[in-house]
Structure 1
């Protein structure tokens, strides 16, 4: 019987049975994610009655025209991209030496301690970490206290504070992929480069970086996307600074304009799609 044959195959190959079970939650997540995106795009082409606040379910490009024509939204969009890019660069510069020390210099015990130290902040509350930076960046905070004797004043609240806080929050998401990528670099390659007379700088530039590029790309996807969609940190340490995620949040909570918020939410989605397409052209995703 065909049914008994299928049962026999599943019994003999439990991986097939497990794969089928695991594919169901994955399929549900895909359907839910794509469904929510579709609902967002549909809502984006509706409008809101300015008098009653009710949603008018008629097709219109009015929300997108406002976003494209108003210079304020273009400025906020460029600022958001700049902050996301700055956070990614800062995290990469910090993660490289830390991950290199963990993978190639530290002993096994020290490596375990460092991995735990990097993962531990992920268990702490997001708000606690963000407000901790607000306290440190304040006029009477630790940063001004440390820089005061040198006649230097801290950055205070604003774009710099936002970049610093976001870079701290997302740093583990950059260190771990880079560390995993460095662990896959054979020590024999580094030894061969040294034997051939290459300097440490030349070895890092010509051997380590090409092999490490996919790991850096993986980390940048996390830091760039998380920074682009963050709206809480800028409210805590950003002062009067606004990012595009705040435009979305304010139109949902304050203005009660869901269609315009949905239209604004297409910006980070399109930005990440373009970013992933550019990354794909480099071939880095094929080597992850």
Structure 2
């Protein structure tokens, strides 16, 4: 008689297709990216020269313009993450601890609804909002196209990715802790700083991974609302498309990968990932 496979075997068979897809499609493409970063392009024919060289990385380190663009991209990613965290905390707290169950479900749907719309539709909508004749200009507060408009647009685009993890984290926060803090006479701000914020910190970290990484790699919104602003993502896209310099684009694309690996390493040392 043939025996049926055990639970571990069934689990392994179930995970095999997605793991193969991850290994071949994602890790394979990432490996090809790293490999291409050490090649060059023939200046006359545009063909790839598959000879190992560090010229692309030397160019990144020696030319100040690329250091400036990298620093600007990191600054924008940090700023977008902080803006989204500041907006997500009160919204998520109201959803998790104040709103009644019926309203709570409606608010979750309202947060998810922007994710159902096309990225390009939302980006071009903000282009219209930020234009000189757009609705914001009627109020005299339009920042126009540029760095400020880019931060506003990206903060809007990635806000649901911050709200949802924080909302999930706040749902796990026992109401008895808030009641105990109030019974001991702690003001609302003190309760938030000493009780809520430490316990919701892992959820903020989870949201920041999304907002930070998505901002680091974005290049479409930069083209639409960034004006003359140059970011890491659109420099990579321009070198891959317009300049036809795949090796340099690959070398510059290694930078956000290394940044995210470093960021995840720092986050792991804080212990926030273990508490998610």
TM-score (normalised: structure 1) = 0.93
- The answer on 1:175 being equivalent to 2:163 is yes
1:73 aligns with 66
Structure 1 residue matching 2:139: 3-state secondary structure: helix
Specify which of 104, 115, 122 is matched with residue 122 of structure 1. Answer: 115
Deviation track 1:29-79 (CA, whole Å, cap 9, x = no partner) reads 134322111111111000001011011111100000001100000000000
CA drift of 1:154 comes to: 2.0
Largest Rg, 1 or 2: 1
SS class of match (1:273): helix
Name the SS of the counterpart of 1:98 in structure 2: helix
The residue aligned with 2:38 is 45
Q: Which residue of 2 aligns with 1:267?
A: 255
Q: 1:233 aligns with which of 213, 218, 221?
A: 221
Q: 1:203 to 1:23 in 2, by over 3 A?
A: farther
How far 1:19 moved relative to its partner?
4.8
Query: Counterparts in 2 of 1:1-288, with a 5 A limit?
Result: 4-5=2-3, 7=4, 9-10=5-6, 13=7, 16-147=9-140, 153-288=141-276
The 1-side partners of 2:13 and 2:67 are apart by 46
Query: What SS class does the counterpart of residue 157 from structure 1 fall into?
Result: coil
Query: Structure 1: any 5+ residue segments left out of the alignment?
Result: 148-152
**1:18, CA displacement in angstroms?**
4.4
Shift of 1:164: 0.3
Between the aligned partners of 2:171 and 2:108, the Cα distance in structure 1 is 13
How far, CA to CA, are the matches of 2:263 and 2:16 in structure 1? Answer: 28
User: How many Å separate the matches in 1 of 2:258 and 2:147?
Assistant: 23
Relative to structure 1, the CA distance from residue 19 to residue 200 in structure 2 (aligned partners, 3 Å threshold; closer, same or farther) is farther
TM-score (norm 2): 0.97
SS of the residue corresponding to residue 245 of structure 1 reads helix
Shift of 1:199: 1.1
Instruction: Report deviation, 1:27.
Output: 3.7
1:150 aligns to what? none
Shift of 1:146: 1.8
Deviation at 1:166, TM superposition (A): 0.4
Q: Which stretches of structure 1, 4 residues or longer, exceed 4 Å deviation after superposition?
A: none
Supply the distance in 1 between the matched residues of 2:175 and 2:13 (Cα, whole angstroms).
40
- Structure 2: where are the runs of 5+ without partners? none
Between the two proteins, the alignment pairs up a number of residues equal to 276
Question: What is the RMSD computed on CA atoms of the aligned residues?
Answer: 1.3
Cα shift at 1:25: 1.3
